[in-house]
Structure formats: structure tokens, C-alpha cells
Amino acid sequence: MTDTKTAVHSAWSSRFAFILAATGSAVGLGNIWKFPYITGENGGGAFVLVYLLCVLVIGIPIMIAETMLGRHSQKNPIDAMAYLTKEAQADSNWHYLGWMGVIAGLLILSYYSVIAGWATAYVLKAFTGSFYVDNPAEIKTLFDDFVASPVQLIFWHTLFMLATMLIVVRGVNNGLEKAVQYLMPVLFFLMLLLVGYAMTTGSYFQGLHFLFSPDFSKLTANAVLTAMGHAFFTLSLGMGAIMVYGSYLPKDVSIAKTAVLIAGADTVVALLAGIAIFPIVFANNLHPDSGPGLIFQTLPIAFGSMSGGWLVGILFFVMLVVAALTSSISLIEPAVAWLVESKGFTRERACVWSGLATWALGLGTVLSFNAWSEVKFFERTIFQLLDYLTANLMLPIGGFCIAIFAGWMMQQKHSIAELAMPNDLSYQVWKLLISYVAPAAVFFVFLHVIGVL
Ligand code: PFF
């Protein structure tokens, strides 16, 4: 990334750099940790189908819109929304959208960092071989003992937050482009290896059946909301992360093609994770609805029983941490970019303040797995509440507003010029999806959840 135009606002060196960074943001814990466990909790196939549909008709159009708003404004989400609102002569309340995004990013990072801390701890466990026990029950006990210790969780959460801040201080490009460039192929290869292992478990088809044969009787209104929320979460949409990355994107790049590519890669990684994990779950009589610990209780079984598994295990958890890092920096970047560009903070100060606030908030999530596991709000622990609030409410609401803004508020001449679609038909399809289909879908899911429909 090189500085252009203004002293503080940066730009990607190429389309490829943007693809790498945005894919790095999209592919993370959401694909490998969250997708399998929420699929397990929500009954499998029907949930997966709704998620895929949401990626297609809501996620991709909104990803195009969010990138476009970022590039058109060349600003961080808060200043971008203020600028775009003025340009469109829209109601000034629209600029709160930028604020909601920045806050959502910090809230997500507060628990994201705790879970990424687990993955970091598992790198060490993979090195020392401490989880290579034969018995799945012992692997579960190991995990349960680990999350029962606030001291350990705080240590790993702190370490991960420090790593995130160190990268963000240097600017999102230095090192990031390269990290993602190597990460993606290695991660992909490891996922294939795990799928290969899953084929040998004897429960491969049971796993596939669970993932891909929809049983709509298992689909509650909340499951639909979770699937839709996850489409936003996994594609990093609805909070300005993709907007801020889009603002660094050179003008001559096709936004639509790029968005399809990123969404495609993201979805493939998630599906591979599911295909790898569920056969292991069934072969070992584990429960698909084991919750956030699912991958930590299943994958060590695979590493323990495949030949050379110790190396695969180390590589896997290292890759998971790197994938989490390339996402976490995009969660904090909107806040940092705003503090720097609008409030005159140095990058260092901006990182320290937003990092500290996020770290402190993360302690709530740490304790929700042990000392405060009985502290509930609306029947949810702090972690569950933060996850629900951000992924199921804030991101879809943010995405809904982005769709309405891009479809109805922004002048058509600007969206046509930014998107520069190869033909009028593709522009019209996008316009239809962003103006009607995506917002209506989000709206209906909400109505369904509150019981109006
Ligand atoms: N997309 C990331 C993942 O799947 O792990 C998480 C995430 C990053 C969500 C950035 C939202 C965001 F803005």
C-alpha cells in the first residue's frame, strides 16, 4: 500500500492486493470455528442452505455496495457516510451508520480475540503434543479445563490483541498482503488434507448428509436469523470493514468481479471446514451441537490419528491464528482510520486506545466461559449476547442500511460510474438486488423473528 492523494489516506498497490486483504478479512474464525458449530447447533442442511442463499442474494450485492461506497468516498466509514450523505443530499442521520459500524467492529473484536486466543494456545498444545490422547473424552476434558481458567484465557487474549495492534500500528498493508498470499494456499491445502482424513473415518457420508440434506423441520426463525447474520459475519459486511478496504482500492478495478471472487473463496473454505469436521463428530459419537468448543474437541482427534498428524496439527493452528489476525485487523481498522483521519491521532495512539478498550471488553467474554458462566442477560452469557447483538442484529441492520443507501439514496450516475459493469443488464440485476431483494430479505427475516410473520 502506498500513500496517495492525501497524506493520511492510503491505497492498495493493486487489485490483487485488495483481493488478498479483503479475502483475509473474510476468511477467519467465522469460516473454520463458527460455521461448523452454528451449523451443528441449528440442525445442519436446512441451515446451510439458508446461509448459502443469503450469501448469494444478500451478501454479494451488499459486498459490491459497501466496496463501492468506500471507494467513491475515499474515506473511513464515519467520514465516508458523512460525505456520501451530503453528496446525496440525504438526511444527516445517515451518518450514524458509520458510527454503528465502528462500534460493531470493536464489539466483535472483543470476543473474536478471546477465541483467537484459544487457537493460539492450541498452537502450543500442538507443539508439546499435549492433546494427543487416544480418547475423545479426554480431548474434551482438556478443552473444558482450559476454558475454565480465566488466567490462561486472559493471557492468550492479551497476546492476540497485542499482535493485532502491532500489525495495525504499521498500517494494514505492510506484511499483510504477503501473509495472506501464502496463507490462503496453505490453509486450503490443509483443509483438503482434513477432508481426506474425514473420508477415512467411516462416517464421511453421514457428515455430508448432515450438511447437505435439508430437514426444514429443524429450521426455527432464530436459525434463519443466525444463518443470515452469519452471511454478514463471514463476509465481513455491514460494519465498514469492507468499506474502509474499498476506500483504498484503485479506481480502475472491477468491484463486482472482485466481490464474487472473494465471496466464492470464503464460502469454499467454510464448506470444507464443515465437510472435514462433521464426519469426525459422528465417527467419535460426539455431539454436533457441542457449541464453540466443537473444532477444539474434534480436530485434535484427526491430528492424533493421521500419520504426520503432529505437523498438520501445528500448521493448522498456526494458519488459523494467521487467518484470525488478517480478520481482526479489519475489525479495528475502521476505528483506527477514523481516529487518525478525523481526530488527528497518530496511528500509534489510535491503536493503543482502541486496542485497550477492546481488550478490556474482551474480559467479559473470557469470564463468561468460567467465573461468570451463570451471569445471563436475556438468557445469554456475555459472549452469547455480544455475538447475537453484533452478528444477528448490528451487521444485518448495517447491511440493510447500506443496501438502502446504495440503492435509493446515492445518485445513479455515481453508482454506474463506480461499478463500471460490462453491460447494462448486470448493473440492473445488481440494482434490483440491492434496492429490493436484499433489504426485503433482511426485513422479512426480522419480522419472522419477532413473530409478526
Ligand atoms: N469475516 C471474519 C470471519 O469470518 O472470521 C470476521 C469479521 C471480520 C467480521 C471483519 C466482520 C468484519 F468486519
**pLDDT attached to residue 245:** 86
- Whether 30 is in the pocket of ligand 1, judged by its Cβ within 6 Å, is yes
Please say if the pLDDT value at position 308 is more than 90: no
Q: Is the CB of 31 under 6 A from ligand 1?
A: yes
| pTM, rounded to two decimals | 0.94
Predicted confidence band of residue 21 (pLDDT cuts 50, 70, 90): confident
Q: Is 105 in the pocket of ligand 1 (CB under 6 A)?
A: yes
129: CA distance to ligand 1 center in Å?
Answer: 30
User: Would the pLDDT of 219 be above 90?
Assistant: yes
Q: Which amino acid is at 386?
A: L
Q: How far is the CA of 425 from the centre of ligand 1 (A)?
A: 31
| pLDDT tens column, 126-153 | 999 888 777 888 999 999 999 999 999 9
Residue of 381, 55, 364, 417 whose CA lies nearest to 228: 55
233 lines ligand 1 (CB under 6 A): yes
- Read off the amino acid at residue 163: A
Minimum-distance ligand 1 atom for the alpha carbon of 29? 5
330 Cα to the center of ligand 1, angstroms: 8
Q: How many CA atoms lie within 13 A of 207 on its CB side?
A: 26
Tens-digit pLDDT profile for residues 236-255: 999 999 998 898 888 888 89
Residue nearest to atom 7 of ligand 1 (CA): 236
CA end-to-end span of the chain:
48
**Alpha-carbon span 427 to 435, nearest angstrom:** 12
Angle of helix 438-449 relative to helix 395-404, nearest 10 degrees? 140
- pLDDT(3) > 60: no
Cα of 233 to ligand 1 centre, how many Å?
Answer: 5
Q: How many domains does the chain have?
A: 1
pLDDT (tens digit, 9 = 90+) per residue, 146-205? 999 999 999 999 999 999 999 888 876 666 677 777 878 888 899 999 999 999 999 999
Report residue 4's pLDDT band, with 50, 70 and 90 as the boundaries: very low
Structural domain boundaries enclosing 413: 3-449
CA of 132 from ligand 1 middle (Å) equals 31
CA angle at 391 for the pair 385 and 394, rounded to the nearest 5° = 90
Assign 3-state DSSP to the chain and report helix, strand, coil percentages, each to 5: 80, 0, 20
CB contact at 8 A, 47 and 223: yes
375-415 pLDDT tens trace: 999 999 999 999 999 999 999 999 999 999 999 999 999 99
- Give the atom of ligand 1 at the shortest distance from the alpha carbon of 327: 8
Residue 26 Cβ inside 6 Å of ligand 1? The answer reads yes
- Min mean pLDDT across 30-34, 104-108, 240-244 is at 240-244
* Ligand 1 contact via 328 beta carbon (within 6 Å): no
Q: Which residues contact 170 (CB under 8 A, 6 or more apart)?
A: none
User: What's the CATH code of the domain at 256?
Assistant: 1.10.4160
